[in-house]
Structure 1
Amino acid sequence: MTLSPARVRILVAALLAVSFLGALDHTVVSTSLATIAGDLGALEHMSWIMVGYTLAATVMLPVLGKLGDVIGPRLVFVVSLVLFLVASLACGFAPDLGWLIAARVVQGLGSAGLQLMSQTIVARVTSPRQRPRYMAVIGAAFPIAIVVGPVVGGLITDYWSWPWVFWINLPVGLVALVLVLAAVPRLPGGAHPRFDVPGSIVFTVSLVGLILAVTWIGDDALRPAAIVCAVVAVIGILALVAIERRAAAPILPPRILRDRTILVCLGLSLVVGAGLFSVVAYVPTYVQMAYRTTATVSGLVPIATVLGMLVSSLLTGWLVSRSGRYRLYPVAGTALAALGLTAMALLPAGMPLWVPMVVMAAVGIGTGAFTNLIFAVVQSAASRDDLGAVTATTNLVRQIGAAVGTAVVGGVVGFAVAAGLPAGLDAATLTPAAARSLPETVQEGIGQVYHDVFAPVFLGLALVYACGVGIALLLPSARLSDEMPASSPPVPDRQPA
């Protein structure tokens, strides 16, 4: 469907508002987590407030992507927004943790639909050449939310009450809903009207098992449950292969995995997940301990990272839309990020804080050069009827990379720090504030331990990005087309063997 430039701009503005709403909700809640759990009397289970949201937002991606291809992305998008708003209202009225977790699961499901369908709708109404610019604008919601979310969450918690962390979504969301109903055109479904219900169920169970296994494996108390979840995931994946081979309309169409461009973009998405999210998650802890700063000051380093990412993403999207050439940016971006992380590993202890800020800004610039661009590229390689599925798969690979990368880095850091701390210090109870109250010589020793532990971690993440350079070099030297995406020819139903 071809829209006028003015209609496209209104559409992108509406999609940006909704995407920002979904991204902001995650970062706002993180600041209020301890207050919420304390008021509900469930401090020991507060992580489930985030885990439930993240699980739903991850495992539903392929299901929603396929559903968008079958019935059209507009309907999935509107329903997701309504679900998100209803769940936000329910979260604020939660009388106990069970209610809140259930509402957060529904909210995560809605958030997944908002993120995924925003990208799919842009792909349906723009040409591949136009897409990088608009994808970069919509993708700006994530880094902006990382910067402003914790501040907004803190202000709401301190000056209002924690239910408003969720209720603030309602006025913004209702305005966004009006914009969406007016701006998003009615987009028909694809040429594959059947939906793979058995494959969807088995896939969802398998992915839940995989994510829980990765999340729990580092906890001694939860390790047996993690092993059970891992076994469920393996059995589920084997069953899924058998189901999808016989399915008339598989949830993950095998044809999208036969294209070199799509496979390369999936590899780059994995690099972003495993590399960037691990850095953003643990750099504040590293800075607080190695540089002996407060939590507020330590936040300057990830802020520098995401601001570099934001500027780079917007600039890259504009440049690619002008020329149509895209191969240079993933190659140069992964190389710059690898060099930045290598520099982080080689920085001596005791450097001024602005030094790691500059280095991590370079990592953000490198990552931003391709993190949203790959969605435009992967969509250009798929037919119109597979846009939802290929976009969902790219998002899913990134989320899995983030879950695995964060779990691995967290396990390595936890084990190495515990082994390296001076006698008499317990890594489980050593907070940054407690460390700053110790004698100067002990603080220096703790800082050196964290510096020595994180140096190989940074080198490992640099290696992840270095692999990304090799992956990016496999992209074809081509231009993005000015032509609108075409439907693929109908595929005849396959009868079970």
Structure 2
Amino acid sequence: MPLSRARLRLLVISLLTAAFLGALDHTVVATSLASIAGDLGALEHMSWVVVGYTLAATVLLPVIGKLGDILGPRAVFLTALVVFIVASLACGFSQDMTQLVIARVLQGASSAGLQLMSQTIIAYVTTPRERPRYLAIIGAAFPVAIVVGPLFGGLITDFWGWPWVFWINVPVALIALVLAVVAVPHVEPSGRRGFDIVGAILFTVAMVSLVLAVTWLGDPAAVFAVTVSFAIAAVAFAAFFVVETRVAEPFLPLRAFRNRAVSAGMALSAIIGIGLFSVTAYLPTYFQMAYGVTATVSGLVPIATVFGMLVANLGTGWLASRSGTYRPYPIIGTILGAAGLFTMSLLPVGAPLWVPMVVMFVVGLGTGSFMSLVIAVVQSAAPRSQTGSITATLNLVRQVGSTVATAVIGGVVGFGVAGRLPQAIDPSGLTPEVVRGSSALIQAEVAGIYRDVLAPVFLALSVVYALGIIAALLLPGGRLSDESPADIPVDVERVSTP
């Protein structure tokens, strides 16, 4: 039975609040890390505050998605909210780095539950045609969190102290919890089904090993650990795929990939992670080094990118719900992304800063055109009984694509710059402040090096988006259905046509 408009609005507010909290905790800690490490006396383990959160949020996505299908999304969502509140309190009260990392792992796991179940619940309570609009609203949490997270983290740390970076979550999450108890409907699970424990263990081992390997990839002292981690990941993935072909209820819905809409949507989701999310982390450094601007000014380019994502995400969600047509937006979006990144590869160092801002705004515009829309399309094409699992897989390929590509780009930039620097410049002491304080000749040389190293990266990412054009063209045509959620058949081939 469809929800009333008032209850649906309360539901969206609750889901948006929870999704924003989950997304914010990816970014809000960045400006607090130095204070946290200094206070807890563990500078060498500082990165694990971020890695632990990201690792849990990525690896546990399929587990949470499967639990949503078996137990129902309401139970998983409410549990995730409660765990998030407890983990946020534990983070702020941590007395050493070990306690903080453990609490951050719990926070990352619950954050994945908040994000994933928000998308899953929307799939259950809306028609396929309504879905893009509401998913776009919830999807807006991520780009907003990218912009405001570091700013909030810095302000809270400076004025209240770093524990409040975590404690500030508690009152907001409690409000979201009260709204969720009232507004989130009970969705009857599609029958009690088995949980593929062997597949889940193999997949978790494989993903943990893979994420750790790519995290350590740029550390020369971790060559052995990287090699072992990659080997374990390869063996575990091979065993996982063998197991998944033989069980009645596989851990991941691999059979759904036979559907063209599902496979094309997964490819588009991966392209977002590989093609844009990976490079945004390096944009500020690039513009500080190549353009000689301050850290504050260098942040304008990522902000322009995120603003483009936000505008297009909300706009295409509204348009797709209004017309029911979805296919043109991924096609246009991937073309804009490919063209924008190709233009970035050609920009000379001396170009005014507003030029790359406009270009990256276009890339963000293109990415936002299908960022949330592809979730609605894939959910509509998958069986209702696998809504949680298929949504988890979409998020997983995006996360893994971003993680792996970020590590690769970091290695290319780090080794590429170090290998090109003249002997007079020490790579370990190369900072934006040092460059700005150097002679005009040194500044020009460093700027040229960064441009020469990043240009092929932008070109490669434009090729990734060009492959995305093919994936977008492979999406089946037709319109999103107006069927009520209760009437949606369990049919893997279901994307409605006129």
TM-score w.r.t. structure 1 length? 0.97
Give 1:285's aligned residue.
285
Q: Is the 8 A contact 2:57 2:112 kept in 1?
A: yes
Please give the alpha-carbon distance, in whole angstroms, between the structure 2 residues aligned to 1:5 and 1:184: 13
Please give the alpha-carbon distance, in whole angstroms, between the structure 1 residues aligned to 2:397 and 2:191: 25
1:473 counterpart SS class: helix
Please give the alpha-carbon distance, in whole angstroms, between the structure 1 residues aligned to 2:271 and 2:172: 33
Give 2:113's aligned residue.
113
Give 2:424's aligned residue.
424
Please give the alpha-carbon distance, in whole angstroms, between the structure 1 residues aligned to 2:403 and 2:428: 22
Gapped runs of 5+ residues in structure 2? 493-498
Give 1:443's aligned residue.
443
Give 1:455's aligned residue.
455
Q: Is the 8 A contact 1:68 1:76 kept in 2?
A: yes
Give the Å deviation of 1:213.
1.2
Give the Å deviation of 1:488.
6.1
1:161 counterpart SS class: coil
Task: Please state if 1:160 is matched with 2:153.
Answer: no
Q: Is the 8 A contact 1:52 1:104 kept in 2?
A: yes
1:188 counterpart SS class: coil
Give the Å deviation of 1:97.
0.6
Give 2:271's aligned residue.
271
Please give the alpha-carbon distance, in whole angstroms, between the structure 1 residues aligned to 2:443 and 2:161: 37
- Equivalent position amino acid for 2:72 in 1: G
Give 1:11's aligned residue.
11
Q: Is the 8 A contact 1:217 1:227 kept in 2?
A: no
Q: Bigger shift: 394-403 or 1-10? A: 1-10
CA-based RMSD: 1.4
Give 2:215's aligned residue.
215
Task: Please state if 1:374 is matched with 2:381.
Answer: no
Q: 1:487 to 1:358 in 2, by over 3 A?
A: closer
Give the Å deviation of 1:489.
6.3
Q: 1:489 to 1:118 in 2, by over 3 A?
A: closer
Give 1:37's aligned residue.
37
Q: Is the 8 A contact 2:116 2:391 kept in 1?
A: yes
Q: Is the 8 A contact 1:325 1:480 kept in 2?
A: yes
Please give the alpha-carbon distance, in whole angstroms, between the structure 2 residues aligned to 1:39 and 1:148: 24
Q: Is the 8 A contact 2:119 2:135 kept in 1?
A: yes
Q: Bigger shift: 459-468 or 230-239? A: 230-239
Please give the alpha-carbon distance, in whole angstroms, between the structure 2 residues aligned to 1:89 and 1:71: 27
The CA deviation string for residues 450-471 of structure 1, in whole angstroms up to 9 with x for no partner, is 1111111111111110110111
Q: Is the 8 A contact 2:384 2:490 kept in 1?
A: no
Give 1:28's aligned residue.
28
Please give the alpha-carbon distance, in whole angstroms, between the structure 2 residues aligned to 1:490 and 1:365: 33
The CA deviation string for residues 244-283 of structure 1, in whole angstroms up to 9 with x for no partner, is 2332311112331211100000000110000111221111
Give 2:496's aligned residue.
none
Give the Å deviation of 1:168.
0.4
- Equivalent position amino acid for 2:406 in 1: T
Q: Counterparts in 2 of 1:245-394, with a 5 A limit?
A: 245-394=245-394
The CA deviation string for residues 19-73 of structure 1, in whole angstroms up to 9 with x for no partner, is 0011111211111111111111111221110000000000000010011000100
- Equivalent position amino acid for 1:165 in 2: V
Give 1:76's aligned residue.
76
Q: Is the 8 A contact 2:383 2:491 kept in 1?
A: no
Q: Bigger shift: 308-317 or 416-425? A: 416-425
2:164 counterpart SS class: helix
- Equivalent position amino acid for 1:435 in 2: V
2:474 counterpart SS class: coil
Give the Å deviation of 1:200.
1.0
Q: 1:488 to 1:244 in 2, by over 3 A?
A: farther
Gapped runs of 5+ residues in structure 1? 492-497
The CA deviation string for residues 193-212 of structure 1, in whole angstroms up to 9 with x for no partner, is 22112211111111101111
Q: Is the 8 A contact 2:382 2:491 kept in 1?
A: no
Please give the alpha-carbon distance, in whole angstroms, between the structure 1 residues aligned to 2:25 and 2:416: 33
Please give the alpha-carbon distance, in whole angstroms, between the structure 2 residues aligned to 1:255 and 1:408: 30
Please give the alpha-carbon distance, in whole angstroms, between the structure 2 residues aligned to 1:278 and 1:428: 23
- Equivalent position amino acid for 2:223 in 1: R
Task: Please state if 1:59 is matched with 2:62.
Answer: no
Q: Bigger shift: 244-253 or 254-263? A: 244-253
- Equivalent position amino acid for 2:448 in 1: Q
Please give the alpha-carbon distance, in whole angstroms, between the structure 2 residues aligned to 1:165 and 1:2: 38
Q: Counterparts in 2 of 1:175-254, with a 5 A limit?
A: 175-254=175-254
Aligned positions, number = 491
Q: Is the 8 A contact 1:71 1:193 kept in 2?
A: no
Q: Is the 8 A contact 1:422 1:445 kept in 2?
A: no
- Equivalent position amino acid for 2:475 in 1: L
TM-score w.r.t. structure 2 length? 0.97
Q: Is the 8 A contact 1:143 1:310 kept in 2?
A: yes
Q: Bigger shift: 394-403 or 239-248? A: 239-248
The CA deviation string for residues 210-235 of structure 1, in whole angstroms up to 9 with x for no partner, is 11112212211112111111111111
Q: Is the 8 A contact 2:21 2:173 kept in 1?
A: yes
Please give the alpha-carbon distance, in whole angstroms, between the structure 2 residues aligned to 1:187 and 1:159: 43
